[in-house]
Structure 1
Amino acid sequence: MTKPFTGQVALVTGASSGIGRATAQAFAKGGAKVVVAARRPEQCEETVDLIRSAGGEAIFCKTDVAKPAEVKTMIETTIAGFGALNFLFNNAGVEGTTFTPIEDYAEDDWAQVIAINLTGVFLCTKYAMPHLVRTKGAIVNMASIAGLSGGRMGAAYYASKHGVVGLTKSTAIEYADKGVRVNAVAPAVIKTPMIERADLVGNDEIEQKMLSLHPLGRFGVPEEVANAVTWLCSEQASFVTGHTLPVDGGFLVP
């Protein structure tokens, strides 16, 4: 079986569960050494154990992507542990806890969502970029269909994901001549802990309404987003940069 990432190093933030964990496993399956980063040590160690039990190499670095000092330590840990950095998946994100019209939106919640979802992508990109320039590597950012459309009751989340799309475009243009490709993925509803917290799965009425918005007639699974991320990092996507790829079951088509 061909392993396209053999000898390369991937860093995945928010790798404690869901899409982050699935993507860390996908990189490892492809032969990459993986740095698993997130705020939850126990869950991240589970991701590391899953990779190692399948024959891969992985290390864990506890990281809050909203904190510059922790992001710098994460990058230093990556280089110290594996000697290089080829791929960065900026996946860490939160949905927030406020779902109200903007006049009632909690300011603290706004600040937290922007800090993690948008500033976190900026910080990780900033400190990883010198190493990615050396390897002519690739970045994939976690956007969302919320970054490509509008909606109600989630101002910070929509704003942060639109910001990720814009940051993806600007970074791709800035570093194209240095050989670094930068893209994003924009999932619709994917079966993850975040979706469970939002009560989109398990509530029959809400679930059926959301399913009706997906022409494929089902929600996605983390592995399907992981496949898109690893493809964007692979040589098969060598002429793709600055784009946001919907992984949405047709959600944005109608």
Structure 2
Amino acid sequence: MILDGKAFVITGGLGSIGGATAEMIVAKGGYAIIFDIVPEDVATEKIKTFKHSDKYFYSKTDITSQEILEASLQEALKHVPNGSLFGAVHCAATNPNKPWTSKMSDKLKDFETVLKVNAYGTFLVNALVADAINSQYPPLDIYHERVVEERGAIVNLSSVVGHTPPARCLTYGPSKTCVLGITEAAADFLAPSGIRVNSLAPALVISPLMQSGDRIQYFKDAVEGYSMFPRRFTTPDEIAAAVIFLLENSMMNAFHLKVDAGWRQVTSWANGIDREFRSFTWK
């Protein structure tokens, strides 16, 4: 797939990974349709500072609301060339950052929250973006009618903790495991429409959260102790470059790509080791 002239929805597009991805898509001649929760005026001023800012469209969007997301997509289609919508990079997610107790049931509300955003939100974004892509073409007569042309590609951000959820990611990890399942099911369902669906799993990514507070040393120790090589945090640009690979390579479909330097998530049960780090946010 050639990205030049093609538009992609990027949820969480003003964040570290989403922002880097949007910049790379635009640099290749594409259009970035950014959906985020940042207020419109703040987002608009930020986008004005971007190179080729005329190739960005922003909408404050709730990825758990079908009505709001559909409205945002319909508005976005008015601001990009006709027939140019070719996919999505779904980065938006949440992780309730709350201290643990010794009762697993205390995490039920958190689990409900992350499933709503990370699992249902992923399904909703995939479904509505795919429908919007297909709306640019004559409708298929029956489901199993298959097209020849490539119509689009979707990349869902999972996480290494979605592949093997450790105890310290009791709710977030399983919600990202759902992303893996949704990706494979969506790839199969959308195959007749010529739309590919893949997932990408980052590990520890450089972000304002990871660079502040007392947790930074804990994360540095985890990377140093349990990464293969290189033993460092991943940059947003490295994740974005992997996203671009999945978009451009037309043979990539129903694939789960880890970008984690071979990092292994290890839970230590020694007294005090994890005491101060029983909840944190993954991106």
Global fold match (TM > 0.5): yes
The letter for the 1-side match of 2:132 is H
Q: 1:39 aligns with which of 34, 37, 40?
A: 37
CA distance in 2, matches of 1:64, 1:148: 26
Does residue 249 (structure 1) correspond to residue 247 (structure 2)? The answer is no
The letter for the 2-side match of 1:88 is A
**C-alpha RMSD over aligned residues:** 2.4
Question: What secondary structure sits across from 1:81 in the alignment?
Answer: coil
1:120-135 to 2 correspondence within 5 Å? 120-133=121-134, 134=137
Does residue 139 (structure 1) correspond to residue 154 (structure 2)? The answer is yes
Contact 2:161/2:169 (CA < 8 Å) preserved in 1?
A: no
Q: 2:189 aligns with which of 152, 161, 174?
A: 174
Aligned to 1:232: 246
CA gap 1:93/1:233 in 2 versus in 1, 3 angstroms: same
The letter for the 2-side match of 1:232 is L
Contact 2:18/2:91 (CA < 8 Å) preserved in 1?
A: yes
Contact 2:198/2:256 (CA < 8 Å) preserved in 1?
A: yes
Does residue 209 (structure 1) correspond to residue 193 (structure 2)? The answer is no
1:23-172 to 2 correspondence within 5 Å? 23-41=21-39, 44-45=43-44, 48-51=47-50, 53-54=51-52, 57-82=55-80, 83=82, 84-100=84-100, 103-133=104-134, 134=137, 136-172=151-187
CA distance in 2, matches of 1:132, 1:25: 22
Aligned to 2:273: none
**More divergent stretch after superposition (26-35 vs 210-219):** 210-219
CA distance in 2, matches of 1:110, 1:10: 30
Which structure shows the bigger proportion of residues in helix conformation?
1
**More divergent stretch after superposition (167-176 vs 150-159):** 150-159
CA distance in 1, matches of 2:221, 2:265: 19
Q: Which has the larger radius of gyration?
A: 2
CA distance in 2, matches of 1:115, 1:194: 23
How far does residue 106 in structure 1 lie from its aligned partner after superposition? 3.5
Question: What secondary structure sits across from 2:174 in the alignment?
Answer: helix
Deviations 1:41-91 (A, max 9, x none): 26633552343x346510110012112222112211221211341120111
How far does residue 200 in structure 1 lie from its aligned partner after superposition? 4.1
TM norm structure 2: 0.79
Contact 1:219/1:249 (CA < 8 Å) preserved in 2?
A: no
CA gap 1:194/1:143 in 2 versus in 1, 3 angstroms: farther
Contact 2:87/2:130 (CA < 8 Å) preserved in 1?
A: no
CA distance in 1, matches of 2:262, 2:45: 33
CA distance in 2, matches of 1:182, 1:31: 22
CA distance in 1, matches of 2:114, 2:7: 28
CA distance in 2, matches of 1:230, 1:46: 26
Contact 1:189/1:219 (CA < 8 Å) preserved in 2?
A: yes
How far does residue 186 in structure 1 lie from its aligned partner after superposition? 0.3
Unmatched runs of 5 consecutive residues or more in structure 1: none
How far does residue 114 in structure 1 lie from its aligned partner after superposition? 1.4
- How many residue pairs match? The answer is 247
Contact 1:143/1:185 (CA < 8 Å) preserved in 2?
A: yes
Aligned to 2:11: 13
Deviations 1:114-153 (A, max 9, x none): 1111111111111111233446100000100011112013
CA gap 1:27/1:50 in 2 versus in 1, 3 angstroms: farther
Deviations 1:212-236 (A, max 9, x none): 22221111010100011111111xx
CA gap 1:242/1:252 in 2 versus in 1, 3 angstroms: farther
How far does residue 252 in structure 1 lie from its aligned partner after superposition? 4.9
The letter for the 1-side match of 2:38 is R
Question: What secondary structure sits across from 1:105 in the alignment?
Answer: helix
